[in-house]
Amino acid sequence: MKRILYIIIIIMVSVNTFAQNKSMTDTVYSIKEVEVLGASKKKVEIGKLNVPLQYLPMSVSTVSYKDLEIRGISNIEDAVKFLPGVRMNTSYGAFQTLYVRGMTYTPIMIDGVRDERTMINSYPFSDLTNVESMELLKGPASVLYGHSVLGGVLNIVRKSPTPQTVVNMKMSYGSWNNKQANMDFGGNLAGPLNYRANFNYSDQDGWRATGNKRLSGYLALGADIDATSKIDVRGSFHRDGYGTETGLPPVMMADVYNADGSLYLKAGQEIPGLNEKKRYNNESDFLKNNGWDISGKYEKKFSKSMKLTNYLSYKYDDINYLGTEELSYLYSMDPVYKHYIDKGTYKMYINLDSVQLTYPLRFSHIAKTLGNQLELSGDFYTGNIKHNFIGGYSFSQMFRNSYTGYNNAPENDKFNSEYDIYGPGIYSVIAVNNPQSMGYMKSKFSKAIITKDYTHGIYFQDLIEFHEKFKLLLAARYDMYKYMRTGANTYDGIREYHKSEQTPYSIATNSAFTYRTGMVFLPISELSIYTSAASYFRPSRTFPAANTIYLNKNGSEIDIESGKGIFDPEKGYQFEAGTRYTYKSILQASASVFYIRKNDIVRSFGRLSVGSDANGNPIMKSIIGQVGSEDSKGFDIEVAIMPTHFSSFNLGYSYTDTKTLDIQPNKYVSIDTQNITLVPHNTFYAYGNIVVPKGIFRGLSYNLSVSFMDKVYTNYAKSMSFSSYWLTDMGISYSLKNGIRLSGNVNNVFDKKYSNQAVYGTQRVPGMPRNFMLSLAYSLR
């Protein structure tokens, strides 16, 4: 079977007739203020700098929605595999965290506006059907986008209003009863007013019976008010529901022996013969994510060399979650089970036939974010030297109320409704080989955590063209950050609290200066070589908590002052060198090497015994310290080829080596320099599109994608890892003259077994086996 499929792939790549598709050189880039139009010789705006991309000392990657749509991709975790050095970590079914160049909590922006949620937690993201492109600016970008931007920043650019009539409709059906419907409209409404609208619905049983459902809508309106000013207003909503994911029973944390003393499983191994389709979640588990947003952008041109832009936005997001998270084996000091763990002086017997649902988690986050950006940009001359500048002020505030129900009923009183989670399902024991729900769980909220984030930033950057072959970028920013947190009890178990019962606010304030500078050399117009340096900071949000020991940078215990922030901001920097080459509209290639350093990192070392009380019982405390540094070094390469108007091929490779460094010694824990978890050393992708432009097969098109993800460890103990894997996806479509298109996609063609997510680092979630998607689409021509 594999041999036949490889022959098909070779034939597809060897075909002499090709598919029309945008290359990197004629794609529109929009990273906040990035807009690359046409080949690299044409103008680009980044930070409203009206210069060619070749003049900029930074790395930019992009993937268009057209390339995603023909592959049936509408999820962000599938889309980012076409960006080098990027990994999206998904946990508990839908909570996602983006890693870029080995750095976590990479900010994600929508139309150039930061999603402030991504700075503090993993979050679900809605579908990408209203998206025009995704672009990645790599390296520290605090000077452009504010705090916490170290590995890079991902911008999701939504579809813009258009005067041209657009009518696109698509229906799809795939494996595990996957049903999708999408409608995309655009055109002129009246006079100068244009629009774009998108609606999407999806419903699926799912490979592991998660039963995910999504509904989203999007509307964009735009108009030229007069010859010098224009306005753009956009809004969207989503109503998404996900089945939570607790994974498979955990791997062994130590060697496990048979009753006769022979080795059964080594540490890190999984129970053999597990059915990867089986779910171990409780019947009451759920995850709902609802939200909406609205934004308005006004632009006023005073002259050809000066304009003012104001961008106002508001976002509402609601997450509601109850999930079975921890699966535990049953243990006994008596030989009542068939297997045991050797504890040295005694044997601990373990039951591998069942698991217990021991720690369900109940929480909800409601986030309301208001932001505004006011910018003045343009160019001027000092003698014969041209300056391209932008100066601006940004403001954002996020009010987030978190509601928790962490007070679970005890095992000997699990039906007591006085507790937050209770019922027959809690602490239930289910079979490993044929898991069945053992009853419902009911839940409520008991605590509210109220937080407020405020950020003010002022910035200025200047790209200086002091010679036709040499360009210099100078940029600086000053940010002021304030974080406030308080708590209260809820009432009636719902997401409400009495403000009169709030505790006093704890307040942390940080401010920082960041910079970015770079030099570009253009020996010929098609080739640019650049170097750059940039800084970064991430504000501290840690306040004192009970039964916790805090360590400073020297490894010494901190004398806590109640109501104040504990740690200094994380700070860091990056050095980068790269090159970019363009040959007509046929080839564009780029390469860069980088070094990133992050200092004053905050690390949680878990719960440890720090002594004994008067009765000899151990005193357990959590240990958190600002005790070290991390660095990341590597390189990435991208190539885009468009040999004819009917073909395009893209490939990218990235090598990243990320480690913890300089962990200061302390009396509680000892940690050696080691690789960071969930960061692969090597990633690779290649994809191509081909269409037959004439003959009896005119309108027939093919697409092929190959991606590689290297091995990653899921915990610092390295007791579990995801093995490296290759995935191959293929698709074929046929376009009729009346605007109808028939298409089919096969993902994971070679039915590769793999995993890329786990709960607690030990409960593996299997990846999807081979699956298909059939689609019927119509476009008005």
Q: What is the DSSP string of 502-536?
A: PPPPEEEEEEEEEEEEEEEEEEETTEEEEEEEEEE
100-123: average pLDDT: 86
pLDDT for res 45: 40
56-77: average pLDDT: 92
Q: Please give the helix or strand (H or E) that residue 145 lies within, else none.
A: helix 142-145
Range picked from 301-315, 546-560, 606-620 for highest mean pLDDT: 301-315
460 φ, ψ to 5°? Answer: -155, 140
Which range has the worst mean pLDDT, 294-308, 315-329, 438-452, 653-667? 653-667
Name the token pair of 327.
């699966």
Strand partners, 577: 531, 593
pLDDT for res 48: 61
pLDDT for res 649: 97
381-405: average pLDDT: 96
Across all residues in the chain, what is the average pLDDT? 89
Q: Name residues whose C-beta falls within 8 Å of residue 761's C-beta, 6 or more positions apart in sequence.
A: 677, 714, 715, 719, 720
* DSSP string of 692-704, one letter each residue: --SSTTTTEEEEE
pLDDT for res 560: 76
Q: Tell me: the pLDDT tens digits for 762-777?
A: 999 999 999 999 999 9
| pLDDT of 25 strictly over 50 | no
Domain total of the chain: 1
pLDDT for res 553: 80
CATH number at residue 143: 2.40.170.20
234-263: average pLDDT: 96
Q: How far apart (Å, rounded) are the C-alpha atoms in residues 683 and 248?
A: 26
Domain that holds residue 253: 2-779
| pLDDT of 151 strictly over 90 | no
Closest CA to 140 of 461, 596, 659: 596
User: Half-sphere exposure of 506 toward its Cβ, with a 13 Å CA cutoff?
Assistant: 19
| pLDDT of 22 strictly over 50 | no
| pLDDT of 501 strictly over 50 | yes
Q: Tell me: the pLDDT tens digits for 459-481?
A: 999 999 999 999 999 999 999 99
264-268: average pLDDT: 94
Q: Please give the helix or strand (H or E) that residue 13 lies within, else none.
A: helix 2-14
Cβ neighbourhood burial of 671 (10 Å; 0-12, 13-18, 19+): middle
Q: Which position has the token pair 């000899």? A: 616
Q: Tell me: the pLDDT tens digits for 605-632?
A: 767 777 777 776 677 788 888 877 899 9
Strands 286-303 and 256-258: unpaired
DSSP classification of residue 103? B
**Higher confidence at residue 670 or residue 315?**
315
Q: How far apart (Å, rounded) are the C-alpha atoms in residues 375 and 81?
A: 33
Q: Tell me: the pLDDT tens digits for 650-707?
A: 999 999 999 888 667 777 766 666 677 889 999 999 999 999 998 889 999 999 999 9
Q: How far apart (Å, rounded) are the C-alpha atoms in residues 300 and 316?
A: 28
Q: Provide, rounded to the nearest whole percent, the portion of the chain with pLDDT above 90.
A: 72
At residue 444's C-alpha, the angle toward residues 440 and 447, to 5°, is 145
CA dihedral for 31, 35, 38, 43, sign (positive or negative):
negative
pLDDT for res 672: 61
- In the chain, the largest separation of any two C-alpha atoms, in whole Å, equals 89
At residue 110's C-alpha, the angle toward residues 394 and 312, to 5°, is 40
Do the Cβ atoms of 29 and 58 come closer than 8 Å?
A: no
Do the Cβ atoms of 440 and 425 come closer than 8 Å?
A: yes
69 φ, ψ to 5°? Answer: -65, -40
**Higher confidence at residue 156 or residue 716?**
156
Strand partners, 768: none
| pLDDT of 148 strictly over 90 | no
Q: Tell me: the pLDDT tens digits for 556-574?
A: 888 776 556 688 899 999 9
pLDDT for res 544: 83
Residues present in the chain in total: 781
Q: How confident is the model at residue 159 (pLDDT cuts 50, 70, 90)?
A: very high
Strand partners, 170: 182, 777
Which range has the worst mean pLDDT, 273-282, 499-508, 540-549, 687-696? 540-549
| pLDDT of 118 strictly over 90 | no
Q: How confident is the model at residue 392 (pLDDT cuts 50, 70, 90)?
A: very high
**Higher confidence at residue 175 or residue 553?**
175
pLDDT for res 259: 93
| pLDDT of 10 strictly over 60 | no
Provide the residue type at 614 as one letter: A
pLDDT for res 402: 97
Closest CA to 598 of 634, 633, 572: 572
Do the Cβ atoms of 528 and 580 come closer than 8 Å?
A: yes
**Higher confidence at residue 522 or residue 677?**
522
Catalogue the E-assigned strands of 338-425.
Answer: 339-342, 347-382, 385-404, 421-422
Q: Please give the helix or strand (H or E) that residue 65 lies within, else none.
A: helix 65-69
pLDDT for res 562: 58
Mapping DSSP onto H, E and C, the string for 463-484 reads EEEEECCEEEEEEEEEEEEEEE
Do the Cβ atoms of 626 and 568 come closer than 8 Å?
A: yes
Q: Provide, rounded to the nearest whole percent, the portion of the chain with pLDDT above 70.
A: 91
State pTM to two decimals: 0.89
Q: How confident is the model at residue 529 (pLDDT cuts 50, 70, 90)?
A: very high
